[in-house]
A and B are shown apart, each in its own frame.
Chain A
Amino acid sequence: MTTEALRSPAIAQRRGRSELMQQRARAARWFLLPMMIALAVVAGWPLARSIYFSFTDVKLNNLYGAEWVGFANYLQIRTLESGRTIYRGVLADPDWWNAVWNTVRFAFWSVVWETIFGMIVALVLNAEFRGRGIVRAAILIPWAIPTIVSAKMWSWMLNDQFGILNDLGVRLGLLGAPVAWTASPDTAMMAVLVVDIWKTTPFMALLILAGLQMIPKDIYEAADIDGVHPIKQFFRITLPLVRPALMVAIIFRVLDALRIFDLIYVLTPNSAATKTMSVLAQENLFQFDNFAEGSTQSTLLFLLIALFTIVYIWLGKVNFDGGAR
């Protein structure tokens, strides 16, 4: 009797605590459920279907009659009776590797320049001057314009016969003759890069600006008293402290750039010099009736992005909580 009386409060307490924990966990699951369902329907299911299709001989007009073909869409090695070996599949397709190269090149240069310009813009916006609020809002305009609209707009500006840029260039004597910026293979990638950098630098600038504003002002005063030159202040103080925000901004942009589609589709349609993985996959899926091959390319793109993200987070020690000190 006495032992029971002594023990029971402790047990009740322990049970009570675990019940509370269980209740919290249950509530958390209920709150997560709608999100999980939405993600499963709009992301999980299409992704699973794409991956499945990449292992079949599916056709767009017969999605349910697909038959399993294993890795044949990826790589197929066959040795003919004559002794010749034939490689088939996406991984043996020069068009695919051209698209991979275009995508990587595009992602690298666009992110490099967006980071540099974004940093400069963010540093300017971080300084105090009259009308800063208006400038901050104005700088977002390129990013707020739908890509299709800005791509069409630039496409006209870059037009070889009617474009304002060629007209200006010729009148100022910078160009001997109008250049077909978007159509010429030599300049198509550059045109795409310019438009993308113009469009996305504001986004980068805003993310970096958020990071800059977390740096306390007083350490710059301490640096002034220490006699640290402003350029040295940037490299030794600002850059290390804004790095967490910068890393997150860069990964956002790289992920975006690796799956670039709309800008290239509108600005330089059907140009081998700019065709990226997404554009190629879209063509195969919906235009050339190569649904299985398109699915394979989509899956490879997904793997590439996933791999890059994992390596980047691992090597860069990215902290998604923001730049907490």
Chain B
Amino acid sequence: MASIELRDVRKAFGAVEVIKGVDLEVRKGEFMVFVGPSGCGKSTLLRLISGLEDITSGEMLFDGKVVNSLAPSKRGIAMVFQSYALYPHMSVYDNMAFGLTLEKGQSKEEIRRRVEKAADMLQIRQYLDRLPKQLSGGQRQRVAIGRAITRDPKVFLFDEPLSNLDAALRVQTRIEIAKLHESMDNVTMIYVTHDQVEAMTLADRICVLRDGLVEQVGTPMELYEKPNSVFVAGFIGSPKMNFISGDLAKSFNADTVGIRGEHITIVPENGVWSGTVIHTENLGADSYVYLEMGTEEPVVVRLDGVNTYRSGDVVQISPMPDKIHRFNAAGKPVA
């Protein structure tokens, strides 16, 4: 169990600065998710925390102690890589035990017990004698997680662990990682993803990164309900928040008005706006109606159940007044 603190951490590769001064605190036992578009520096930030990369300036503290130049193996971390990074020539058992066999004072029985315990947790016990190439992608990912568990780390780092899995397996493994976090409540976890759904479902707190800087840190619901920029508002939530600017926004005393699809109702008359249906998507449980009303992108309305609108229909819509987000020209919320 460890808390991690970053103070004005910067990282430059040659002349290119990738992390441009990050202040962040990850609390003990917390599940923190770094999320952001590709190239925002989230993986680099994770690698800085792991110690695989040196920080260029600033301070990194584990439990209040500066670890700037501490080797990865001395930080009490375990990492799960996007590409699994299993040792291809070792059996599953050896992959999981390799790190332990190098620690002094570990008896063979103790190592076996720890590996088997982790294997049982992940239901990979029957694969212990196999080589990684004899396993499917999902099984390899479990082995990678198992290897991390056997290290009994204080901090668990995940670098986009689900992005090489297919959709069904991704959901299943996501649930398992959530369960893992519950069962290891004294372990701090940091998880990098570009998928906001993973971030929303897994995180205690989310750190949204953009262009090497922290855009906002908060619980999933804080980010959903009170995004502190247009960027966060657009990044969190699915379908994406609708943004309305220009004259339509002026009447709300804002440069940009944001309203989520689920916070718009279609009304028979006297709507705030009106638009023409250009496309509908029925997903069964809910459905999306795309409206053309002079905005840059069509406005999406999320409805429960199945809808029967057709392209060309003109409808009146009203946003829920207390769910409207107003932003100024700089993309910041209007008080």
Interface residues of A (CB under 8 A from B): 216, 218-219, 221-229, 232, 236-237, 240-241, 325
Work out how many contacts link A and B, with CB atoms closer than 8 A: 61
B151 interfacial contact with A, CB 8 Å: yes
- Among A222, A227, A325, point to the contact of B102 (Cβ < 8 A): A227
A232 near B102: Cβ-Cβ < 8 Å: yes
Q: Which residue of B lies closest to A240 (CB)?
A: B89
B52 near A237: Cβ-Cβ < 8 Å: no
| 17 pairs from A and B in contact (CB 8 Å cutoff) | A216-B85, A219-B86, A219-B87, A219-B88, A221-B79, A221-B81, A222-B81, A222-B147, A224-B71, A225-B50, A225-B73, A225-B151, A226-B99, A227-B71, A227-B72, A227-B73, A227-B74
Contacts of A227 in B (CB 8 A): 71-74, 99, 102-103
Number of interface residues of B (CB under 8 A): 24
Chain A nearest CB from B202 CB (Å) reads 21
A225 near B52: Cβ-Cβ < 8 Å: yes
Chain B nearest CB from A19 CB (Å) reads 38
Q: Which residue of B lies closest to A219 (CB)?
A: B85
B72 near A224: Cβ-Cβ < 8 Å: yes
Q: Which residue of B lies closest to A226 (CB)?
A: B99
**Complex: A74 Cα to B127 Cα, angstroms:** 58
Contacts of B73 in A (CB 8 A): 224-228
Chain A nearest CB from B67 CB (Å) reads 14
Contacts of A232 in B (CB 8 A): 102
Kindly name the residue among A222, A232, A241 whose own CB sees the greatest number of chain B CB atoms within 10 A.
A222
**Complex: A237 Cα to B85 Cα, angstroms:** 12
Kindly name the residue among A216, A218, A219, A226 whose own CB sees the greatest number of chain B CB atoms within 10 A.
A226
Chain B nearest CB from A93 CB (Å) reads 47
Contacts of A228 in B (CB 8 A): 73, 98-99, 102
Report the 9 A-B pairs with minimum CB-CB distance, sorted nearest first: A227-B73, A226-B99, A218-B85, A222-B85, A240-B89, A325-B88, A225-B72, A224-B72, A219-B85
B83 interfacial contact with A, CB 8 Å: yes
B119 interfacial contact with A, CB 8 Å: no
In B61-93, the 8 Å CB interface with A consists of 71-74, 77-79, 81, 83, 85-89
Assuming the contacts A227-B99, A228-B102, asked whether A222 and B88 have C-beta atoms less than 8 A apart, the reply is no
A325 near B85: Cβ-Cβ < 8 Å: no
